[in-house]
Amino acid sequence: GQNIDQPTEMTATEGAIVQINCTYQTSGFNGLFWYQQHAGEAPTFLSYNVLDGLEEKGRFSSFLSRSKGYSYLLLKELQMKDSASYLCAVRHNTDKLIFGTGTRLQVFP
Amino acid sequence: DAGVIQSPRHEVTEMGQEVTLRCKPISGHDYLFWYRQTMMRGLELLIYFNNNVPIDDSGMPEDRFSAKMPNASFSTLKIQPSEPRDSAVYFCASSSPTGPHYEQYFGPGTRLTVT
């Protein structure tokens, strides 16, 4: 079966660093995605990991450990506009994505 | 590029009525996905197509739901008859093997309310 777990909600302060964790159990792993979704909008692609290690893209970084079934999204220098839901998704060999229920992040001034 | 286009953006209908949601994928993308999003269940994959052919419809809730992709630039998701529990946001997404990560691009969604 497939199972993806991430915290439901997190809060942080503007300018701080926050780490959103994602653990997964799945067969046929073919990459892990992070998407950002602002309230009332569509998910947008943030990052992709298929090999172990850290991928950095500006203020956002994503890490993957396949042996542990674990990923995290790291957001640095938080801004108010980073308040959104962050969705972890695992891709199977069959090309479909299985999404976690998302982590709602609130950034306070 | 205009991105993935969905219509209508909002739909309010009464229980028992037929509902048709429409999607135009990004030109050149050969995969098309239909998702449903609710607060309780998150983002769920309903069905996906590759080159207009349905590949996996295991997420379609029941026979009341059907999806078609008559050509590379158009897909529909139909619910007949609709029920209040179908109320959700329905997203269409497309992807291409030429993309660096084969990531999916989502349309703006259709917010469906069944009363």
In tens, the pLDDT along A32-88 reads: 999 999 999 999 999 999 999 999 989 999 999 999 999 999 999 999 999 999 999
pLDDT band at residue B112 using 50, 70 and 90 as cut-offs? very high
Which whole-number Å values give the CA distances from A55 to A79, A85, B25, in the listed order? 20, 20, 29
Average pLDDT over residues B85-102: 89
pLDDT tops 80 at residue B47: yes
What's the CA gap between A41 and B82, in Å, rounded? 24
Query: Between vectors from CA B78 to CA B75 and to CA B82, what angle results, nearest 5°?
Result: 160
- What pLDDT score was predicted for residue B97? 76
Which of B43, B50, B109 is facing A87, going by the closest CB pair? B43
Question: Per-residue pLDDT tens for B56-65?
Answer: 999 998 899 9
**Percentage, residues of chain B above pLDDT 90:** 86
Q: In 3-state terms, chain A is what percent helix, strand and coil (to 5)?
A: 5, 60, 35
The answer to whether B45 contacts A87, with C-beta atoms less than 8 Å apart, is no
What's the CA gap between B94 and A12, in Å, rounded? 33
pLDDT tops 70 at residue A15: yes
The answer to whether A101 contacts B107, with C-beta atoms less than 8 Å apart, is no
Contacting residues for B24 by C-beta, under 8 A, at least 6 apart: B4, B5, B6, B73, B74, B75
The answer to whether A33 contacts B33, with C-beta atoms less than 8 Å apart, is no
Instruction: Using an 8 Å CB-CB cutoff, list residues of chain A that contact chain B.
Output: 31, 33, 41-45, 48, 87, 91, 94-102
